Structure 1
Amino acid sequence: MLTRADNRAAAAEDLQLVWSARWSLTTRILVVNILAVALLAGGFFYLDTYRSRLVDTRIAVMEDQLALLDSALEAARPDQRERLIGEFTRATESRLRFYAPDGRKLYDSFAHGPPTYTLRDPDLQPWKRDAARAMDRGIDWIVGAPAYPEFEEPATDRAAAWPEVKETQQSGEGTSRFRYAPERTPLLSATRVVDLEAPEVMLMTVNARDITRTVRAERFRLAVVLAMVLIASVLLSLFLARTIVRPLRRLARAAVRVRLGRAREVVVPRLPSRRDEIGTLARALSDMTQALRERIDAGEHFAADVTHELKNPIASVRSAIEGLGRVKTDEQRAQLLAIADEDVRRLDRLVSDISDASRIDAQLSRTLFEPIDVGLMIESMLAARAARAEQGEKPQPRIAFARPRKGTATVMGDGHRLERAIDNIIDNAISFSPPDGLVCVRATRLGQEVHIGVDDDGPGIEPAQREAIFRRFHSERPNGEAFGRHSGLGLAIARTIVEGHGGTIAAGDRDDGKPGASLLITLPAAEEGGAA
C-alpha cells in the first residue's frame, strides 16, 4: 500500500523536468517553435541533393551528346568534321578537345572559333557575387556537401594534365569529372574514345552556370520562406508567452504574498474573460485565498471567543479561591467550594467542546465513510438516552421517534460524528422544551436525500436568529437555565459535522403550526450498494 509520502514522491517525479528544468516558460515556447523552423531548414539538405541530381543529369546528357557526335563524325567526310564540331560546341555551349594516344592535343574548339563560355575572374566581379559565393560555401559546409576540386586551366595542355583523359586512355571507357570554376560555378567534363584516322580521346567541358543560378534561386526562395516563418514563429511565441507567462507570474506573485501572511491585502486576479485552464487556475486560487481569509478570520474570532468564554469561569474560580482565606464559617467555605467545583466543571465542558470544534474538520477529511442506517442509529441513541434519563432526578421532556422502514434512510458517513450532531440537536430541543413537553424526532428519505427533523415545544426561534444560533458561543439560552450549563458550541459542532458530510442544517417553524422550533438536517442518501 502506498503511503501519502509515496504518492507525493510519485507526483513530483511525474512532473519533474530533466534537461529543461532551468529554462523559463518563455524560453521553452521559443525553443519549441524555433525547433520546428529548424526542421523546415532541412530543405537546404534537399537543395544539395537537388544540385547533385542536376549535375548527374547534365553529365549524362553530355555523355549522350558525345556518343551522338562520335556517330556523326564517323559518318562525316574529313573536310566536314571541323564544321560539325563547331556547330556542336555552339549548340551545347561547350569546349571540345581531342588528344592523341601519345598525349598531344590534336584539336581545340576554342582555337578554331569564338569561345562558347568564359571563366570569369572573381576578383573583377562585384561584392554581391562574393557574398553569394560565401553563402554557397557556408551552406555547403552546413549540409556537408562533398569538397569538389577547384579548376585551373593547365599551363601545358596535354592529356597528362587531365585525369579523366588519362583514365579513358588506360581503360578505353568514357568518364566524367566535377570541378569548381574560379567563380564557383560547376565546370563539368566528360570523355569518350573516338576512332577516326587513329584512336583519339574526345574531352568535352561545360561551364554550367545555369545550375548555380537555379540552386541559388531556390535557396533564396527557401531562405525568404524560412525568414518569414521564423519571424512569425517568434512573434507567435512571444504572444503565446505573453498570454500564458504574464498571468502565471501575476498569480505566482499573489500566491507568494499570501504565503508571506498578507492574505487580507492581496487581490488575486480572477481573469473572468479567460475560459481556458489559466482562467480556471486563477479563479481557483482566488477562491482558495478567499477561503483562507475566511478561515483565518474564523480562527481569530474563535480564539477571541474562547478567551472571552474562559475568562468568566477562571475569574470565578480565582474569586472563590481568594475568598476561602477570608471566610470564617464552614457553611461559607462550602458555598465557595461548590462555586469553584461548578466553574471547574464548566471549564472542563468548554475545553472538551472547544477541542472537538477545532478538530472536526480535519478528522472528517481523513475519515473513511461507510453506509449508516440513520433509523437504527437514532433508535439505539434514544434507547441509551432513555436509560440515562431514568437514573436522573430532574424530569425530562418525552421523546417520540418516527422510525423509518429499515434500510430506507441510509447515508454515507461517520456514525460516531453523525450521532454527535443529532445528539446535540436533541439536547438543544430538550433544553428549550418544558419538563412535560414532547420532542419529536423523524427520519425520512425524499428522493436522493435523507431528512432528519427535530421539533420541540419551546418558544420557537425568531427569524432573525435562525442563522445566529449556529455560530460558536451563541449565548441565548432558555429562561431559568443555570448559567454555564452549555458551552454554546453544540449547534456549531452539529453544523460542522453535517456540512462535512455534504449536507445542510437549518432552523424554522414546526410544520404542524404548533409553538416551538424545528431543526432539519438534510444529507445525501447513499446509493444502493454504495461503499466508501
Structure 2
Amino acid sequence: MPDWRRGLGFGSLRARIFAVNIFAVIVLALMLLYIDSVRSRLLDERTTELARQAVTIAGFAADVPAPARAASIERRHFGRGTRLRLYGPDGALVADNWRGPAAQRFVLDDPAQDSWRRRSAKFIDRALEDVGSFKRVPPYVEAAPDRAGQWAEIAAAQAAQLAAARQASVATALRRAGDGNFILTAAAPLAGGAGTIHLTDSAADLTQILRAERLTSFWLLLGITGLTLLLSFYLARTIVRPLRMLAIAAHRVRLGRSREVVVPRLPERRDEIGALARALSDMSIALRLRIDATEAFAADVAHELKNPLASMRSAVDTLENVEAPALRARLLAVIRDDVARLDRLITGISEASRLDAELSRSRFEPVDVGALCAGLAAAYRTTGLESGVRIEYLPPVAGAARVLGDPARLAQVLRNLIDNAISFSPRPGMVIVSAETAPGRVFLKVEDQGPGVPPENRGDVFKRFYSQRPQSEDFGRHSGLGLSIAGSIVEAHGGSIRVDDGAVGGAVFTVELPAA
C-alpha cells in the first residue's frame, strides 16, 4: 500500500507539529489551574480560620458583662493586624480594637502611589482571575458612619442564628481592597441578641504567596517555551533539509537529467516527508522507464520502417533497368506489398502511440464481458466462415462476468486476440472464445488450433513488432503490434495476459481481470 494511503500514526508531521505546539498550551493551562487552585485553597483556609475566630470571640464576649465587654474587645489584638469590631443590637459600633494609637493595623496602600511594578503585578492578578475560574468580588468600602448595616455578612449571620434556634452561627464575605489585595470578613452574633462580632482581615500575605507561586510557574513556562522553540527549530530543520534535497532533485529532473538523478527515498522517514520522497522517487523511476520505452519504441519503429523502405528502394532502382513486362510486374507487386506493409505499420504505430494517452483519459464503467464476448463472436462468425475458421463462444457457467473498464478497449483486446487466433488456425479450423468467473476475478480465453507458441517464445509474443509466422505466409502481412496493444490495455485495467498450450493443441490466450 502506498505511504500516502497508509496511516502514519504519531510519526506523521501533523502529529509532531500538533504535539510541539499543544505542549506549551497544556502547560499554560495547567499553570493557570494550579494558581487558581492554590488561590482558592489559601482563601478557603484563611476564611475558615477567620470564621472560627469570630465564633470563639463571640462566645467569650457573650460571657463578659455588658459594661466590660467593649473594653475587652478593644484590648484584643492579632498578629496580622486583624480588625475586631462589636456592633450593638441596634447596629451601632460599640467597640473597635483599632482605636488607640498603639493598635496593630493592616495597611491599605494608595493605588495612586503604586510603582509600575506593583501596577503590572495587579494587572496580571486581574488577568489571571479573568482567565481562571475565580469569580469577581465586590470592592471593600468602609462607610461612614460605621454601622452593622453596611456588612451583608452580619445580616446573613443574624438570619442564620434565628433559623438555627439561636445556636452559634457565622457568615463570611470576600472583598477586594483598592490596593488589589483581598479583604476577608466574618460575622458571628452574640448569644441572646446582645450584638455581633465582626472580624476584618487582609490577605496581603496570601497575595505575596500567590505571586511567588506565579513567578515560579512563569520561569517554568519560560523554560518550556524555550524547549518548545528548540523543538520547533529542530522540527523545521528536519522538514526543510529533505524538502530542499527533493526540490534540487526535481529541478535536475526538470532540466532533462532524469537518467543521472537519484531522488532520495528517505526510508528512515515514516512521515509525510518520507512518503513524498518515495513518491517522487517512484515518479522519477517511472519517468526514466517511460523515456527508455519511448527511445526503444522509436528505435523499433525506425527499424521496422527501414525494412519495407529498403525493399521499395531496391525494387524502384531495379525497375529502371528492367524491360521485361513480367519482371516489371513482379517488381510493382513488391512495391505495392511494401506500401501496404508501411500502411499497416504506420496505422499500428499511430494506435500504439496514442494508447497510453487515451487510456489515461478513459472512464471505467461496469462491463459485462460475457455479453461482449458473445457479441464479438457473433460478429466474427461471418468473417471466420469466409476464411474457413468457425468461431464458438462458451458463456460463464454461473453468474455474469462483470469488470470495471473501458468497453471499447476491452473489445479491442478481444478483436486482436481473435484476429491472431484466426491467422494461426488451420483451414478448416475453430476458435473458441470463453468467459469464466472466480471469486474476485474474471477470465477471458481465446483458444485456437494452430501450431501453438513454444515455451521459450511466450514472453516475447507481447513485445512490439514481434512476429513468428509460418514460412508459407507472406512476409509483412502483420504489423506485430496487435498482441502488444492487447497487453498494454489489459495492464491498464489492472489485469494480466498470458499464453499457454491448448487442451488439444494450439494456443490459448488468457486475460485475467479483477471482477467488478
Report the TM-score, using the length of structure 1 for normalisation: 0.64
Over 3 Å counting, the alpha-carbon distance change for 1:314 and 1:215 in structure 2 is same
The aligned runs of 1:464-483 (5 Å cut-off) are 464-483=456-475
Q: In structure 2, what is the equivalent of residue 85 of structure 1?
A: 74
Equivalent in 389, 395, 398 of residue 399 of structure 1: 389
Choose which of 287, 290, 312 in structure 2 pairs with 1:292.
287
- Select the residue among 260, 264, 267 that pairs with 2:262: 267
Q: Would you say the 8 A contact 1:73–1:81 is kept in 2?
A: no
Which of 486, 490, 508 is the equivalent residue of 2:482? 490
SS of 1:89's partner is: coil
Give the structure 2 partner of residue 441 of structure 1.
432
List per-residue Cα deviations over 1:48-74 (Å, max 9, x = no partner): 984996699499859958994995698
How far residue 477 of structure 1 moved from its aligned partner, in angstroms, is: 3.6
Instruction: Give CA-to-partner distance per residue, 1:288-324, whole Å, 9 cap, x none.
Output: 4433332222122112211222233344445656676
d(CA) in 2 for partners of 1:400, 1:191: 115
Partner of 2:10: none
Q: In 2, are the aligned partners of 1:410 and 1:525 still within 8 Å (CA)? A: no
Partner of residue 75 from structure 1, selected from 65, 79, 103? 65
- Distance of aligned partners of 1:522 and 1:219 in 2 relative to their CA distance in 1, 3 Å threshold: same
Aligned pair in 2 of structure 1 residues 289, 207: CA closer, same or farther (>3 Å)? same
With over 3 angstroms needed to count, the CA separation of the structure-2 counterparts of 1:382 and 1:519, relative to structure 1, is same
Find the aligned partners of 1:285 and 1:107 in 2 and give their Cα distance: 86
Amino acid aligned to 1:499: E
* Cα separation, 2, equivalents of 1:415 and 1:217: 79
Equivalent in the alignment of 2:307: 312
* 8 A Cα contact 1:450 1:522, kept in partner: yes
C-alpha spacing 1:466/1:89, structure 2 compared with 1 (3 Å)? same
Matches within 5 A, 1:62-141: 64=54, 68=58, 75-78=65-68, 81-82=70-71, 84-86=73-75, 88-90=76-78, 93-94=81-82, 109=98, 111=100, 113=102, 116=104, 133=118, 136-140=121-125
Query: Which amino acid is 2:81 matched to?
Result: E
1:469 is paired with a residue whose SS is: coil
Counterpart for residue 4 of structure 2: none
Q: Sort the Cα spacing of 1:299 and 1:147 in 2 relative to 1 into closer, same or farther, 3 A.
A: same
Is the 8 Å Cα contact of residues 418 and 446 (structure 2) preserved in structure 1?
no
Measured after TM superposition, the shift of residue 471 of structure 1 is: 0.8
Deviations 1:186-243 (CA, angstroms, capped at 9, x unpaired): 6779999xxxxxxxxx998755433223322442454466456546655666676677
1:210-289 matches, within 5 Å, as 210-220=205-215, 222-223=217-218, 226-227=221-222, 230=225, 254-255=249-250, 257-272=252-267, 282-289=277-284
Change (3 A) 1:33 1:308: farther
Aligned pair in 2 of structure 1 residues 95, 311: CA closer, same or farther (>3 Å)? same
Question: Displacement of 1:415 after TM fit?
Answer: 5.0
Give the aligned partner of residue 363 of structure 2.
Answer: 366
Distance of aligned partners of 1:206 and 1:263 in 2 relative to their CA distance in 1, 3 Å threshold: same
How do residues 446-465 of structure 1 correspond to structure 2 at under 5 angstroms?
447-448=438-439, 449-458=442-451, 460-465=452-457
Evaluate the alpha carbon distance shift between residue 493 and residue 67 of structure 1 in structure 2; reply closer, same or farther with a 3 A threshold: same
Q: C-alpha distance in 2, partners of 1:25/1:444? A: 50
Secondary structure of 1:290's counterpart equals helix
Distance 1:353 1:367, change over 3 A: farther
Tell whether the 8 Å contact from 1:399 to 1:440 is kept in structure 2 after alignment: yes
Q: 8 Å contact 1:271–1:279 — kept in the other structure?
A: yes
Which residues of structure 2 form unaligned runs of 5+?
Answer: 1-13, 87-94, 131-135, 153-172, 189-196
- Which residue does the alignment assign to 2:343? 348
1:196 is aligned to: none
> Are the counterparts in 1 of residues 311 and 338 from structure 2 also a CA contact under 8 Å?
yes
1:329 deviation in Å? Answer: 6.6
Q: Structure 1 38/247 Cα, relative in aligned 2: closer, same or farther at 3 Å?
A: farther
TM (norm. structure 2) is 0.66
Shift of 1:134: 7.0
Tell me: CA distance 1:92–1:503, structure 2 relative to 1, closer, same or farther (3 Å).
closer
Question: What is the CA–CA distance in structure 1 between the aligned matches of 2:187 and 2:396, rounded to whole Å?
Answer: 107
Contact 1:149 1:179 in 2 (8 A): yes
In structure 1, stretches of 5+ residues that fail to align are 1-23, 99-105, 123-129, 151-162, 193-201, 390-397
Q: CA deviation at 1:349?
A: 0.6
Change (3 A) 1:299 1:37: farther
Quick check: 1:271–1:283 contact (8 Å CA) kept in 2?
yes
The amino acid across from 1:211 in the alignment is L
* Distance in 2 between residues matched to 1:378 and 1:355, nearest whole Å: 24
Deviation at 1:485, TM superposition (A): 1.8
Query: Contact 1:29/1:241 (CA < 8 Å) preserved in 2?
Result: no
Rate the CA distance shift 1:510–1:59 in 2: closer, same or farther, 3 A.
closer
Amino acid at match of 1:93: G
Structure 2 residue identity aligned to 1:469: V
AA matched with 1:370: V
Of 414-423 and 493-502, more deviation after overlay is shown by 414-423
Aligned to 2:142: 164
Q: Distance in 1 between matches of 2:342 and 2:304?
A: 9
Count how many residue pairs are aligned between Structure 1 and Structure 2.
456
Percent of paired sites with the same residue: 37
Shift in Å, 1:443:
2.2
* Number of the residue aligned with 1:382: 380
Q: Aligned equivalents of 2:202 and 2:366: distance in 1?
A: 89
Q: From 417, 420, 437, give the equivalent of 2:412.
A: 420
Question: Partner amino acid for 2:144?
Answer: K
8 Å CA contact 2:495–2:512 kept in 1: the answer is yes
**Counterpart residue identity of residue 489, structure 1:** L
| Aligned residue in 2 for 1:160 | none
Between the aligned partners of 1:445 and 1:368, the Cα distance in structure 2 is 19
Task: Determine the C-alpha separation between the residues in 1 that align with 2:201 and 2:18.
Answer: 51
Distance in 1 between residues matched to 2:397 and 2:263, nearest whole Å: 47
Assess, with a 3 A threshold, how the Cα gap between structure 1 residues 116 and 332 changes in structure 2: closer, same or farther: same
For 1:209, give the aligned amino acid: A
Q: In structure 1, how many angstroms separate the alpha carbons of the residues matched to 2:305 and 2:268?
A: 49
Distance 1:410 1:294, change over 3 A: same
Equivalent of 1:520 in 505, 509, 512? 509
Instruction: Note if contact 1:44-1:219 (Cα within 8 Å) is conserved in structure 2.
Output: no
Q: Is the 8 A contact 2:422 2:448 kept in 1?
A: no
Letter in 1 for 2:142: E
CA RMSD of aligned residues (A): 5.3
SS in 2 for 1:299: helix
